[in-house]
Structure 1
Amino acid sequence: MQTEKVIDHIVTWLKDYANNAQVNGFVIGISGGIDSAVTSILCAKTGLNVLCIEMPIHQPESHVSRGQEHIKQLKANFKNVSDQLVNLTPVFEAFKSEVTLDGSQATVDMALANTRARLRMTSLYYYAGMKGLLVAGTGNKVEDFGVGFYTKYGDGGVDLSPIADLMKSEVYTLAKALGVTESIINAAPSDGLFGDDRSDEDQIGASYPELEWAMHMKENGKTTLDFEGRKREVFELFSRLNTINQHKMIPIPICEIPKNLI
């Protein structure tokens, strides 16, 4: 990958899109993870306004400290960057007190995890509307189009996706070139939606290098029968997640009414 040229291409794309949309810049949720760090730097390099928002909901201290470290570095390097803390923990607890929590613990936990992501999306769009900004997404290619590892209308609810054509490994390459802090680069990827330190790999059941491999194999027309052992296990996992999460990746189905009925 021609890293510097890719960086320049994304920055130009972001700036052109914002200017054509006649907006002031971008708003982005900062999680303390690699994807939001890279995306926020790319947005900042446009020279347009960038609002970084922290939105903790019972967040692990390690996530909070990494996010704050990144914002501090970003503001020191770019004068067009500002930040806002929106503590969503009380909002989340108020929501929980108003809904029924019937069902298995796993089902409730997943529903509440997705609720966290949707509360954050709502907050980002509030500030986007108030300040004339676009919500910049932080999903990468294997998450957005491989296994669908994001919340529909949560972190998947964005205006544009600067790094969604990059594999996770390529995001790491950009991170090093952009000077992302070592604490973020070295941290295990985590969506932080469960209030603990479980990683993405813990949730998915495979590492990002494994998922990237499976995605490449599927694109090359391979099937489960082509592999055995761990490779077969990973390929089957990827294929299953890719299938069940298609509803996130394709446009909303529209029931088209036959012309003779109108």
Structure 2
Amino acid sequence: MIKIYSAVFAGIAMFAGTVCFASDIAREVSGDGGDNFFEVSIGLGAGQNNRVKKEDEHNDSYGVGIGLGWEYRWKGFFSEAIQDSYSGLNLGYELWQNDNWRLDLIGMNLHGSVSNDDEILPGMTEEERNDRLVRRDTITLNGGVRATYYWKDNIIQFRLESDYSQNYAGAQSSLLVGRAWQIRNWNIHGLTGLQWNSRKRNEYLWNVSPLEATEKFPEYQASSSLNYSFEVGATYPISEHWLSRSKIVAFTIDDSVSESPLTNNDNVGGVISTSIVYVF
């Protein structure tokens, strides 16, 4: 199984969960970067209740992971793999901007995992079906738009995307509001947000069909969901090119997701992370 969660391909999947897209605008709220820049980060994080998908009987809601992330912008083009974010890998182009607004085209938002052994066939044993259920595809390949509004030290961002892969996993959207405060050399930011997933997306991720159902994972029909997230973080300049970032994130998990037999049945979760960033 190949995992393409949040900022990377290096074991940061435990950060993902349903943490909305709050981390995506944390850098902009804290005032880092510019029109053209490249930064890479490596960080350590710990989470409680943030791993929604249970892999086995002994899976709990705690995890620790190391992750790599980056953000690159050049003449309107951008590539983003934001550490401890749910948004996966983003490739896109800045369509338009002025002093207060920016409109981005998200050409590719890649998130989730791919499995080559998730097909459930008639005649399989309960154990075989259980194994296939927790290893099934969760990959989404999305395209859409992102609109960001800036006013003094405040930021508002709206994002709407739809899956265009052969899975056609429906749509997702988010609305985020953030603010920054400068305290000596520290830049403190706060974010709050909403993330909506369509019924079709949650069916793809969390449904259990009659053919798939087992005693451990009974039949389940998901609906659309609305999750909330809250983040407080701090950025400190170590030197001209090096930064330190830390954050605490809390989030909710809608009943449509938490009641699925494929989850830990938790309605809240959180992540604490710290990272070192190099800005070129």
Provide the TM-score with structure 1 as the length reference: 0.25
Higher share of residues assigned helix: 1
Higher share of residues assigned strand: 2
Provide the TM-score with structure 2 as the length reference: 0.24
